[in-house]
Structure 1
Amino acid sequence: MTRYVSSCFFTLFVLFLWRVEDIADACKCSQPHPQKAFCDADVVIRAKVVGKNAVSNAIKYDIQQIKTFKCPDQVIHAIFTASSPAACGVTLKINKEYLFTGKLETGRMYVTLCGYNPPWEDLSAAQKNSLTHRYQSGCDCKIIHCTSLPCPISTTDACLWMDWGTNNGQNLACIKSDGSCAWK
């Protein structure tokens, strides 16, 4: 009987390890360029996290909205995210300010790990300036993220982003001028 129990335990252990790997790999995405995140979002705001509550299978962060960069005429009082990083949930710190880019669904703002939600203090001066002056004007352009060479680009309405391990490209904005898009 002990051999049978040991065999069952070993089988369950192997299955558990296999399942843990699946869960750990559940949320895979690369960080978008700040302009792409801005253009793809329904809502872009600067806000301070003031509270946190578990709501069914989500986390609700109560926020104090400081500035609106892009939003359909409403004040956001809470941000919702999945309950775990494996499900692309964002972990935020209370009393810290963030830039939030998210989707608006049934009057609620949702953010994910695949979005762009950095602490406000981590943004460069160029990024903060682009939030009010440049990103919106470049939403007609596509930002193509190049992860390996060669990086072909065959259209004039796109900018090639090759930010391999540096943050330099995140300080630029892809703007359309004279019919074609270019980094500025």
Structure 2
Amino acid sequence: MTWIGSGCFVTLAILFIWRVADLAEACSCAPKHPQQAFCDSDVVIRAKVLAANKVDVGNDVYGNPTKLLKYDIELVTMFKGPSEKIDAIYTPPISALCGLNLEVEGQMEYLITGKVEKDGIVYVTLCDFIEPWQSMSAIQQANLNQIYEMGCDCKITHCMSIPCMLNSEKECLWTDFFVDNNNGTQAKSFSCIQRTDGSCAWYWGSSPPEKDFLDIEEP
């Protein structure tokens, strides 16, 4: 009896370890250039995080209560989103499910991108572009007002291994991965802008592109 009990205990321990490992690997996201995150999101805001609480948001298909982590926020600027004021965002309660862990005590300001669900709540995960406002470059901050939106008909293709291929003239090749782990010059200072001939090209800066850039035939 003792041997059987010990064996069961070991088996359960191994299963528990496997389960923890599965959860740890459950959240996997491809990096996004801030412009692509802006264009793909329903909501793009600058906000101060005030408090965090777990809340019930209904039941799952088995009738069990579903919990999300609710962050109460103070909206500073809305760059993109619904007409209604946003005073909270919701995320899964643990990082293994792509839940966010945001600083609350210091009331830090973040750039937050996310989706609006059918019930109207703003849902965000680790796969969205979430960045402390002060960590963003001045060009990134400025481009949220106009420049990123100008390139939403373009696609930024992430290059992680050479050779990298573009499938369309409406793509810009993002190669920061080779320089600074996806947070290099292209992410901090460039946007992908569509020109008058329909093609897309990298554009440096935060001022609207001039005519000679938009009309040029080659980047």
TM-score of the pair, normalised by structure 2: 0.82
SS of alignment partner, residue 85 of structure 2: coil
Q: 2:195 aligns with which of 169, 174, 177?
A: 177
SS of alignment partner, residue 145 of structure 2: helix
Q: How far 1:51 sits from its partner (Å)?
A: 1.3
Q: How far 1:30 sits from its partner (Å)?
A: 2.4
Q: How far 1:75 sits from its partner (Å)?
A: 1.1
Q: How far 1:133 sits from its partner (Å)?
A: 2.4
Q: How far 1:72 sits from its partner (Å)?
A: 2.2
Hey, what's the Cα distance between the residues in 2 that align with 1:111 and 1:79?
7
Unaligned runs of 5+ in 2: 57-66, 204-219
Match of 1:76 in 2: 86
Q: Which runs of 4+ in 1 moved over 6 A?
A: none
Hey, what's the Cα distance between the residues in 1 that align with 2:134 and 2:45?
14
SS of alignment partner, residue 32 of structure 1: coil
Hey, what's the Cα distance between the residues in 2 that align with 1:12 and 1:49?
40
Answering whether residue 127 of structure 2 is matched by residue 114 of structure 1, we say yes
| Sequence identity percentage | 49
Match of 1:130 in 2: 143
Hey, what's the Cα distance between the residues in 2 that align with 1:50 and 1:10?
44
SS of alignment partner, residue 86 of structure 1: helix
Number of corresponding residues: 184
Q: 1:101 aligns with which of 113, 133, 150?
A: 113
Deviations 1:104-140 (A, max 9, x none): 1122111100000111111000100111121000000
Question: How well do the aligned residues superpose, as a CA RMSD in angstroms?
Answer: 1.0
Q: How far 1:10 sits from its partner (Å)?
A: 1.1
Structure number, greater radius of gyration: 2
Q: How far 1:33 sits from its partner (Å)?
A: 0.8
Deviations 1:88-112 (A, max 9, x none): 1111111110001010112211110
Match of 2:6 in 1: 6
Hey, what's the Cα distance between the residues in 1 that align with 2:31 and 2:87?
25
AA of the residue aligned to 2:152: C
Hey, what's the Cα distance between the residues in 1 that align with 2:145 and 2:11?
57
Match of 2:23 in 1: 23
